[in-house]
């Protein structure tokens, strides 16, 4: 029975992804991709990887979807040339097929190795959730670099502003009828999202959750608030905004350096202090991740379009 469920789920995942790649029309592809994120999140739930399911639900089904949708709207607005040159279907199909076959073959010959013993080191890590322990302690250098990757992407997006627009607020000038449904929604959702996001970070050290998941949920409600004109679009030069962006990576880096200065290794957390340290680092990271992700979706600075 359980297998039937997984088969049905995987059939849906494949069908939706095929529709996203092969179906005509960009809008349709984007919508199929949004549903794809949802099914994959369910897939992660089936695989028992709940932290990944949470990340996929928030990022794959939430943020990437709105990122692609708004981009599709922008492309239609600038009336971009839609002539689709034929690509190189045959070589591309061969390459894709070869990769699939190779991976499928590999699955059947892969030995089952001995995994690193996370459980044994867990008590010294300061986190009860092994995934959080890996992210924030054992492989903290990855996570630190990853928070910098987010920042680099945001910088790259900001650089796409026109020079004349550089001082303008970020993104389109969203507006909504003050007493309308959208404005109402934009006022009701953020408080709930805020509490839930904070809960995810707080609970993430012990159970499902974490800084990235919490930050993504917060980014989502920030986006809703901005689109409902509840939050005004900030300027890239705003000091508070810049401070929020560097807070997470900054605290992470400084705590790592402090450990090195106090005689430990770079990025080491002494077992006694590990739990509060992880919470502080995660809280700071969450703020930066939330702001960075929301601004990544909002896009570069734009002068307001002249009224039609």
| Beta carbon of residue 186, minimum distance to another protein (angstroms, whole number) | 8
Name the CA radius of gyration of the chain, rounded.
22
| Beta carbon of residue 263, minimum distance to another protein (angstroms, whole number) | 11
Name the nearest CA neighbour of 157 among 1, 63, 296.
296
For another protein, give the closer residue by CB, 253 or 283. 253
| Beta carbon of residue 177, minimum distance to another protein (angstroms, whole number) | 4
For another protein, give the closer residue by CB, 138 or 283. 138
- Cα distance between the two ends of the chain: 58
d(CA 101, CA 89): 18
Counted residue by residue, the chain has a size of: 308
Q: Give the residue carrying structure tokens 């605290």.
A: 251
| Beta carbon of residue 307, minimum distance to another protein (angstroms, whole number) | 4
For another protein, give the closer residue by CB, 75 or 283. 75
For another protein, give the closer residue by CB, 71 or 280. 71
For another protein, give the closer residue by CB, 191 or 283. 191
d(CA 296, CA 219): 10
| Beta carbon of residue 242, minimum distance to another protein (angstroms, whole number) | 5
Angle at 166 between CA 164 and CA 172, to 5 degrees: 100
């Amino acid at each position: 029975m359980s297998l039937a469920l997984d088969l049905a789920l995987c059939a849906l995942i494949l069908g939706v992804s095929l529709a996203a790649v092969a179906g005509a029309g960009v809008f349709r592809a984007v919508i199929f991709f949004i549903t794809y994120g949802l099914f994959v999140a369910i897939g992660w739930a089936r695989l028992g990887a709940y932290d990944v399911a949470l990340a996929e639900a928030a990022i794959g089904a939430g943020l990437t979807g709105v990122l692609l949708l708004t981009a599709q709207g922008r492309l239609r607005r600038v009336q971009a040339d839609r002539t689709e040159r034929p690509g190189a279907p045959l070589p591309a199909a061969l390459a894709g097929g070869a990769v699939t076959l190779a991976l499928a073959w590999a699955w059947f010959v892969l030995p089952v190795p001995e995994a690193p013993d996370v459980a044994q080191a867990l008590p010294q890590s300061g986190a009860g959730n092994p995934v959080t322990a890996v992210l924030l302690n054992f492989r903290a250098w990855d996570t630190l670099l990853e928070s910098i990757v987010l920042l680099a992407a945001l910088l790259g997006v900001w650089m796409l502003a026109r020079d004349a627009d550089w001082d303008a607020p970020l993104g389109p000038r969203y507006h909504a009828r003050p007493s309308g449904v959208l404005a109402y929604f934009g006022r009701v959702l953020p408080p709930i999202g805020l509490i839930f996001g904070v809960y995810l970070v707080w609970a993430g050290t012990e159970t499902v959750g974490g800084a990235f998941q919490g930050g993504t949920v917060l980014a989502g409600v920030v986006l809703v608030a901005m689109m409902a004109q509840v939050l005004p679009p900030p300027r890239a030069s705003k000091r508070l905004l810049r401070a929020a962006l560097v807070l997470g990576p900054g605290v992470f880096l400084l705590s790592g350096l402090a450990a090195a200065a106090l005689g430990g290794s770079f990025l080491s957390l002494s077992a006694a202090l590990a739990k509060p340290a992880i919470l502080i680092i995660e809280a700071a990271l969450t703020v930066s991740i939330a702001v960075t992700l929301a601004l990544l979706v909002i896009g570069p600075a734009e002068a307001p379009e002249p009224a039609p």
